Structures are given as structure tokens and as C-alpha cells.
Structure 1
Amino acid sequence: MVHLITEFSKYLMIILFAVYTFYSYTVLKQKDGSDRAQLIYKRQTVCMFLLHLDAYAVIFANTGQIKMLVFYAAQTAFILFLFFIYKVLYKRSAKLIVNHMCMLMIIGFIILTRLNFESALRQFEIACVAAVLSIFVPFLIRKMKALRRFTWFYAVFGILVLGFVCLFGSTTYGAKLSIPIGSIAVQPSEFIKILFVFFAACMLYHVKDFKQVVITTVIAALHVMILVVSKDLGAALIFFVTYIVMLYVATRNPLYFFGGLGLGAGAALLAGKFFDHVKVRVSAWKDPFASIDGGGWQVAQSLFAIGTGGWAGMGLFQGMPESIPVRESDFVFAAISEEMGGVFALCIILVCFSCFLMTLNIAMQIRDQFYKLIALGLGTLYGFQVFLTIGGVIKCIPSTGVTLPFISYGGSSLLCTMILFAIIQGLYILRQDEGESDEKRKPAQKSKKKTATEKKHETDKTPGRKETPKDNRNDRHESDRRPGRKSRFDQEEIDEIW
């Protein structure tokens, strides 16, 4: 009976998630705030809660533990709280981004509960804290106009923190990533990514000369070099690509873009020669089965899991994701593919891409160059991190050891991503404010367009004033057209234009 429930539920989850993903793109054609868009958001929410209920019904059927139902109820309350907060405090927020954030977190809770209940519980606690800490971020982004004045604070603070981690941080899989604080380990590079985007935006939104570009590039290179020395090459690659994109958009100089890509390719070749763990990952990427007993074990098991799951998946608790190394963080996408199916995994990619598109849309429409660059930088951070994570799991690129935002286990990653999405919400509201101010200006501009001709007609119709006969007026018009003198008719046309 449990097997039948699991088998039926996996298809239901795929259908619900596919419908949700379909609405993610159809809503982009609708006008913001329209009745049709609101209806689509409601349908997305229904799909989200039904998928959540279906998954935890299967988890309870397989485990028989009441704590699973309690945990499900707590998650539902948390999601409803997020919806309520954004609806009350930020009525003009991007509902699609809120839906995506909640959906991806729900998927993370589901797969982590399946893999390790303690990790899922810990992730949920961090999510609650992150929601409280990020709740006022959109308001600060909207109201604080002095964010562009802290240029060197962003740079100096970021360099000092990354340097401290490089010297005194804890080593994980050969790289210095975190700093232990009590019973938790904080990964500062996750937060410095956001400060790095703000620094680059401050320096590049009013680029004046080549000297300023050089100074900005040197500071950015210092961030990247510290991460390289710490052997946190995944984060270093994210910093580097984000800066190259922001630099190109700010300067419109293709030489910087292609030159940066060439420099990055050369640095990657050097890293493959001087870092042993990079050599192992490159070798595993080329042929993971040749070194399946060594460095290729992770990628090989990931590919086995994805192939075993197929398009529909094995169903929750029907696969063997325990055989996947680092399954709760770096390779969580492989565990999802095995038990929830390739279609479900493909929908995750499409939802993440939808988030990236929303961020680019905000960046293109917002007028302030400073906020435009911030939106572009944050979108690049998010999109490229998703690409690195999934690309490493499916052997598209060498594994870089970065997490899948909102889904992978990791407190620093989850908190950082929630703050990132809160900043994007603030930028979206700023864009709405710009549109509203434009609408207010239009009536004022129209009222100023009352021409001198209209005023003249009004004056001519006043009581007691004798109008000039038509023929005489025409004669006067022709006489006024003498060389060197402007006619009254020409002056009226000028007034019309103004």
C-alpha cells in the first residue's frame, strides 16, 4: 500500500511542479498587478501547497513518525507568514519572486527531510532566523539613499574578512571556507559576495576614466586572489565572473569582457597545475569512471543516481541517495533527480532561470545606474552559482563545491540568498516608484502644454473686444511675413511646439 501511495504521489508532484513552472513563464506576458496576473499567482500558490502536502504525506506513510506531520505544519505556517509579511509590508513586491523563494525552500525541506531529518530541522531554524533578519531589507534599499557612499567600507571590510578566513578559517575538503562560532560554522564569503557587488556598483556607476577602472579591477582582483589562496575556487570564480559582467555593462567596452574571459581561462589552467584538488576534480570531470575508487567517486555516483531515477524518478524513499557523497549540500541535485525524477529536476532549473530573468528585467527597467548595476550583479551571482552547482553534478563542468541556493543544506548560503532576494525585492519596488513618479509627471506636463494660441482665442472671445475681420487678418498675416520679421502665425506655431 505504501509503495502504491509513493508511486502515485511522484507523478502528482511532477504534474503540480510542471504546472507551477508553466505559470512562471506565462505570467511574464501579463501586466504587473493585472487581474490575470493575480489569478496566475494564486494558482501557483495552490500548486505549491498541494505539492508540499503530497510530499509530506508520502514521508509520513514511509516513516510513520508524528514529528513529520508537526514539521510539515511548522513549515506551512512559516510559508504563510512570509506571504503575509510581503502582502502587508510590501504590497508592490514581486509576487513571482516570493513564490519562487518559497517553492525552492519547500523542495529543500522535502529532500533534506528524506535524507536527514536533523539537517532539515536545522535548515528550517536557519530559514526562520533569515526571514526575520531580511524582512526589513527591501525597506532599507528603498529608503537609504546613502548606500553608494560606503564604497571603501565595502571593499576594506570584504578584504579583511576574507583575509581573516584565509589565515584562521576551518578547512573543509581542502579549502578554508568557514569560521567556527560556538556550535555553528559561518562561511563569510557568502555574505562578502553581496558587499562585493555593492562595491563594484559604487565604483562603476559613474566611470569617468581608465584610471578608475584600473583601481576597481585591482580591488576586485585582491578579493579573488585571497579566495584562490584559501583554495575556495568556486567562490573565486563567482566573484570573477560577476565583476567581468558588471564591468562590461558599465563601460560598454567589449575589450574588457573578452580580455577578462581570456585572463580567467589562463588562471584556470594555472590552477589546474598548482592545486592538487583542482587536478583531481578536472580528472574526475574528464572521466569519472576511470578513477571511480578515488577522485571520480562523487561524480560517478551522481551520474548513477541521475540515470537510475530517469524522467519520473524512483519516488521518495524508493531510491538510494545515501550512496551519493555530500548529498545534502553539493550534490543535492543528484538526490532530487533520483527520487523525484528528471522532469522535476528540469523544472527546478527552469524556476531558477525564471528568477534570473526577473532580476535581469529589473536591471533593464530601473533608471538609476547604481541600482541597475546592483540588480545585474546580484542576478549574475545567483544565476552563475546555480550553473556551477548543477553543471558540476551532471558533469557539464568540473565540480566547484558550491551549494544550490535555497535547496542545499547550509545556513550561510540560505541566509545570504534570502538577503539577496530581499534586496532584489527592494529594487523591484524602486522600479515601481520610478514608474509611479512618471505617471504623476504626465498630467503636470500636459497642463503646461496650453498654447499661446488657445490663450489668444480665449482673449479674443472676451466681452467688449472686437474681433478682427477674417480678410483683414489674412492681409496682416501676409504683411507680417516681410523679410526679417517673424509672422504672428509662425510665433503661434513655435508656441504650439513648446
Structure 2
Amino acid sequence: MALRDLFRKGRAAGAGPMGVTIAVKQHNRPAEHKAGLVLPGFLWWGLLIAAAFYVLAHLSIATGIWPVHGTSRGAGGTFFRDGIALGAWIAVLVALRALKYRGSWALVVLPILIFCLTRPSQFQLFTDPAYQASGGRAAANDAKATRARLSTIERAYTDEQKALVYQGPPPPMPDPFARAVAQQTEGRGFFARMAANFSVFLAPFALLAGFMLAREPRVMRWIRDHRLIPFLPTLAVFFVLTMGFSSLGKVGKMTPWELFLPIFITIWAATLAEDAYNLARPGAVLEPRRLMNLFLYGAGPVIPFLVIRELGLSIVLAGSMAAMLLVGTRRGWWAGLMLAVWAVLVIAAFRVDERSATRLELAYHPYQNPSSMTEEQAERWGAKLHQMKLFDANTLEGGWLGAGPGRGHAETAPNAADDGYITAIATHWGWLGTMSIVLVYTLFIVQLLSAAARETGAFERTLLTGIAMLLGIPFWLATLGGIRLIPLTGVATAFAAHGGAKLLASAVAVGIAAGLSHRRTREERFDEALAAPGAEARVQGIRIR
């Protein structure tokens, strides 16, 4: 409606002047930008560039790497799966816009940027025949090298040169993946494969589900007031899986443990919000009921991780809970106590868990005499040392700009898609690309902490802090471990490394953070609208032409 019509309705017929006609430009309307309904320009351009990079890198791998190295089973399906995933992330942004999302867009867009910038490296590893073959990897590598030589001859040599080289009919082009699969005795079942594949394009909708859950105050209030109802079944399932169905930290070749972490973090935030005042008083902490709550909600979820020797995830959960306790009570002595307890648990785990002890010794004393070890220990030592050397080679040989999408030899290093993800990035995109990923991820964690600092409620503030730590601690553990500044812990980085359960759980956590940010922004808008006339307010105004 034009402002002229408003002036007409406000006066009697024939009384006074008609007023001044003004036109309001769409971009000058303050509610759109201030309410968060419009994606900021720098995030929009970053998303556009990252999406273009994602598409071009995938095409470069499919057209330039596949004909040379061959592919693993289902490579075409992986290509289409990644395409659907990109479409799903864009669809989620459209859905949030339609739902009038008013929170920090950086919380939603930055994970998508990280996914788009790192997924091409994962795509190359997921489709490489030797990397995906769990058995006969040496034979697969040999067949891949032979295929690379033959494909180069077919592509670059003339007919005369081919006749001179072959001295007869050309040899058949080997299939590295088929060679490796023929020697493997065991693989993941159909359900495990589908779970790992579906998680890539289900993650965007998991983020949307987390947002829908957290934006409803009644739902979050119910969880806070009835936390025992979701907590006990979750902890029971966790204990049953770890005690009865876990073998070497896996259930049916899958590791679903990450799915429990957002639940435990939310319950812990509710516990701290209910009793933050008393938990800040040393004398009150010793009350039996309070000690029982600390043990049940704080220590209870960490115990199964130690039982199955998942040291990395126990560090992530314990570190997140310690940070939440510090923020919830605002007492430094709590942080010191939690760090001391955490240090004791880590030392005990390194002494008890032979796998962790090997990683620790390799980090600081890589060269030892294998004659002093048993045959099994020497094999384990040699395998881990070989992995670390391959990680070093990937990091160093990438140089400043890397070998390009899918190029280099990231696939030669075991676990390059998981805790060694940073070495695959370094191979493909070089040190500059690696630093770019680190900076973007750090900005993402800072945005989560900034959202936590804006919250006035103890529950929301501690929950957002826990989410920030739940994503930030694995990132730094994997990044620093991959370049050998700290021992490897086996944890994956959300949105940048492989891990179906990790991706889904992290997407839900980001959705919860977005929902809380949305609520906070709306409340701030209402507070400004209802402020007294004499209260300090921001000048909005309009431009008149």
C-alpha cells in the first residue's frame, strides 16, 4: 500500500494538503536484513563459489581420473549421490528462507561451504579402486599402476608408437577393483553400505529437523524439564550396543556412537541449567543427590566409550561437558578439576589400550627396534608407522597449490578419508587450500561460540557451547593429528571427513544451534519493538527519493 493512501485515510475529505509522495526501495526496508531474512552478500558469494568449485572438481575427477585409474564398484552411484547432496543442501536453505529463518545464516552456510570444499577429495577416495578395496590392496595398486600406464599409451601414442611398444596385440586393460575384490573374504553388508551412502544426502534434512525441533520453545522446555525420559533409554541402548554387540568399537561394521553425542550434550545442558547456582558452590556440590546427578548425566555417558576403547570420542564428550560446566557455573576451579580428571582418564586409557599406546609412542618415538616386540606388536607398529609416513608424504608433496582435484596419491594412505582427512586436502589443494579450510572451520566454531554468548538463558547458552565443542574438538584433534603435532585419536571431522553417523549427528547439532539462534533473534526484535519510548533504540529509517 502506498503511503499516500495512508494519508488519505487519516484525514477528512477536503481537509488540509494531501502530503508528500515517497517511494521506498525494497533494499532499504530494514526488517529484511535486520531480521535475518536475507542471506548476507559475502555468504551468498561464498556459497556460489563453493558450489561451482564442487561441481567442477567432481567433473574433473570423473573425466580425468577415472579413465586412468579405474573406479570402484558403485562409482557412478557415488557421483549422483554427491549431486543429490548438493541439491539437498540448497533445498534446505530455500526451506529455511520459506520458514522465515531469522538466526545467524553463518551457522547454516559455513558447514555447507566446508562440505563443498572438502567433498571432492572424499569423492576421489570413495571411487578409487585400491582405496575402497578392503582386501588385496597391494594387488589393486599394482593393477592400477598398470592401468595408468596402458591408458596413457592409448591416449598419447600414435598407432606406430603403440605397435612399437606392444610388439603385438595390446594387453587387456586391468580392473584394479575386481582384482582386489576377488581376494577379499569379507565386506560390509547391504545395510551398512546403504547407511553410509544415504547419510550424505540425508544430512541436510537432519539439519532441518534439528532446526524445527529447537525453534519450538515448548519442545526444548519439555526436554529440559523431563530429561530423564529421553536420557535413560538412550543410555540403555548405548550400554547394550557397547557391551553386547560391539567388536573393536564397531557394530556390524558400523560405528553409530556419534549419534548419541547430541542427546547426551542436550541432557547435560538441562542438568546444568537446573542447578547451576548450587554447582558453583563447592559445599553444595557434595550433596548426595547432586553428586548422583553429576555421575549419572556427566560420567555415565563417558564410561561406554572407555569400555570399547574409543579414546578419541571419550575426549570429545568429556571435553565438551567440561566446557559446558565452566560456562554454566562460571567457576574456573571446575575447569581445573575437570581437566585433572580428564588427564587421569587419558593416561589410564593410553596405558590400558594398546592401540592408543602405539599411537602415542609413534608420535614421539617413531623409530624403535622391532626385535624387542612380539610378531603381532611389530606388525601393528609397522602398519601405523607406514600410515604416518604416507600422511607426511601427502602433506609435503602437495606443495603450495596441490596436485589438483583427485590428483596426487592421497588414496595410498590408510584412513585418509577419516582422521587423516587433512592430508588428502593437502595433496589435492596444497598448503594454501588446507589453510583455507582451517580458517573457514575456525570461523564456523567462532560463530557457534558467538551465538552462545548472545544467549541469556543458562540452558541455551550451555547447549550452544556444547555443540561448538562437539564440532570443534574433533576438528582440531584430526587436523593436528594428521600433521603429527599430536597423536592420532581416530575421530573424524564433521562435514569434512567420512563418517555417516558423524555427518548426521553433526547436522542435527547445527540445526539445533540454528533453531536457538532463530529464537534469540526473534526475542531481541520483540524486545526492541516493546521497548519504552525513552529507551535507547537503533535508528532504522528509510531513504526518500
**Residues 220-369 of structure 1: pairs in structure 2 closer than 5 A:** 220-288=298-366, 290=368, 293-369=382-458
- The 1:253/1:91 distance shift into structure 2, 3 A limit, reads closer
Q: Which has the larger radius of gyration?
A: 1
Matched, 1:147 2:236: no
Deviations 1:226-281 (A, max 9, x none): 21111111111111111111112222222221122122222222222222112111
Cα distance in 1 for partners of 2:480, 2:236 equals: 31
Q: Residue 203 of structure 2 aligns with which residue? A: 130
* 1:296 aligned counterpart, secondary structure: helix
**Residues 449-460 of structure 1: pairs in structure 2 closer than 5 A:** none
* 2:419 aligned counterpart, secondary structure: coil
- The 1:135/1:69 distance shift into structure 2, 3 A limit, reads closer
Q: Residue 251 of structure 2 aligns with which residue? A: 179
Matched, 1:80 2:158: no
**Aligned residues between the structures:** 409
User: 2:46 touches 2:113 (CA, 8 Å); kept in 1?
Assistant: no
Alpha-carbon distance, 1:94 to partner = 2.6
* 2:523 aligned counterpart, secondary structure: helix
Q: Residue 490 of structure 1 aligns with which residue? A: none
* 2:238 aligned counterpart, secondary structure: helix
User: 1:154 touches 1:196 (CA, 8 Å); kept in 2?
Assistant: no
- Paired AA for residue 108 in structure 2: V
**Residues 158-197 of structure 1: pairs in structure 2 closer than 5 A:** 158-171=234-247, 175-176=248-249, 178-180=250-252, 186-197=254-265
- Paired AA for residue 389 in structure 2: A
* 1:248 aligned counterpart, secondary structure: helix
- Paired AA for residue 204 in structure 1: L
Q: Residue 478 of structure 2 aligns with which residue? A: 389
* 1:91 aligned counterpart, secondary structure: coil
- Paired AA for residue 346 in structure 1: M
Cα distance in 1 for partners of 2:117, 2:104 equals: 21
Percent of aligned pairs sharing the same letter: 18
- Paired AA for residue 449 in structure 2: L
Alpha-carbon distance, 1:134 to partner = 3.8
Matched, 1:47 2:123: no
Cα distance in 2 for partners of 1:35, 1:429 equals: 10
Q: Gaps (5+ residues) in structure 2?
A: 1-32, 68-74, 133-192, 279-283, 371-380, 536-545
Alpha-carbon distance, 1:53 to partner = 3.0
Cα distance in 2 for partners of 1:139, 1:416 equals: 15
- Paired AA for residue 302 in structure 2: V
Q: Residue 427 of structure 1 aligns with which residue? A: 516
- The 1:32/1:258 distance shift into structure 2, 3 A limit, reads farther
* 1:116 aligned counterpart, secondary structure: helix
Cα distance in 2 for partners of 1:354, 1:194 equals: 21
Alpha-carbon distance, 1:141 to partner = 1.1
Cα distance in 2 for partners of 1:288, 1:42 equals: 46
TM-score normalised by L of structure 2: 0.69
- The 1:112/1:296 distance shift into structure 2, 3 A limit, reads same
Cα distance in 2 for partners of 1:244, 1:432 equals: 27
- Paired AA for residue 44 in structure 2: K
- Paired AA for residue 241 in structure 2: V
- RMSD in angstroms over aligned alpha carbons? 2.8
Cα distance in 2 for partners of 1:36, 1:429 equals: 13
* 1:341 aligned counterpart, secondary structure: helix
- The 1:444/1:148 distance shift into structure 2, 3 A limit, reads farther
* 1:259 aligned counterpart, secondary structure: helix
- The 1:313/1:401 distance shift into structure 2, 3 A limit, reads same
Alpha-carbon distance, 1:90 to partner = 4.0
- Paired AA for residue 95 in structure 1: W
Alpha-carbon distance, 1:412 to partner = 0.6
Cα distance in 2 for partners of 1:434, 1:35 equals: 15
User: 1:285 touches 1:296 (CA, 8 Å); kept in 2?
Assistant: no
Alpha-carbon distance, 1:167 to partner = 1.4
Alpha-carbon distance, 1:353 to partner = 1.1
Q: Gaps (5+ residues) in structure 1?
A: 1-30, 447-498
User: 1:205 touches 1:250 (CA, 8 Å); kept in 2?
Assistant: yes
Cα distance in 1 for partners of 2:259, 2:203 equals: 13
Cα distance in 2 for partners of 1:73, 1:408 equals: 17
- The 1:289/1:341 distance shift into structure 2, 3 A limit, reads farther
- The 1:50/1:294 distance shift into structure 2, 3 A limit, reads closer
Cα distance in 2 for partners of 1:350, 1:103 equals: 12
TM-score normalised by L of structure 1: 0.75
Deviations 1:302-341 (A, max 9, x none): 1121011122112234311122011222212211111211
- The 1:263/1:91 distance shift into structure 2, 3 A limit, reads closer
- Per chain length, whose mean CA-contact separation is higher, i.e. which structure has more relative contact order (CA < 8 Å, sep 6+)? 2
Alpha-carbon distance, 1:76 to partner = 4.1
